[in-house]
């Protein structure tokens, strides 16, 4: 089964703070990714002793971090070297 939750976010803030808008978009994306694995895990959990294991970008990063893998954040400043 494949689940892709499209995300369209239009942001504005009363303060006009661009950083607040960026952080809102980032958090919305993380939550949407987490829902992509949490939703099927909950919907198809018929055996509590053997729960399903769905996957999303967020879950992949969690698994990699738990395994001690190095995770890079690519930015314009480090794009050429990362």
The tens place of each residue's pLDDT in the chain, 82 residues long, gives 676 767 666 666 778 888 888 888 888 888 888 888 888 889 999 998 998 888 888 899 999 999 999 999 899 999 898 7
Separation in Å, CA 19 to CA 12, 23, 34, 57, 69 = 11, 6, 23, 23, 29
The pLDDT, as a whole number, for residue 24 is 85
Beta-carbon count within 10 A of 68 CB: 6
Question: Which two tokens mark 49?
Answer: 């002793």
The pLDDT, as a whole number, for residue 66 is 96
The pLDDT, as a whole number, for residue 9 is 67
The pLDDT, as a whole number, for residue 71 is 93
């Amino acid at each position: 089964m494949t689940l892709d939750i499209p995300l369209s976010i239009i942001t504005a803030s009363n303060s006009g703070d661009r950083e607040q808008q960026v952080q809102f978009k980032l958090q919305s994306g993380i939550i949407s990714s987490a829902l992509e694995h949490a939703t099927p895990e909950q919907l198809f959990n018929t055996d509590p002793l053997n729960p399903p294991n769905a996957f999303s970008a967020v879950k992949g990063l969690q698994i990699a971090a738990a395994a001690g893998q190095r995770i890079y954040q690519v930015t314009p400043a480090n794009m050429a070297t990362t």
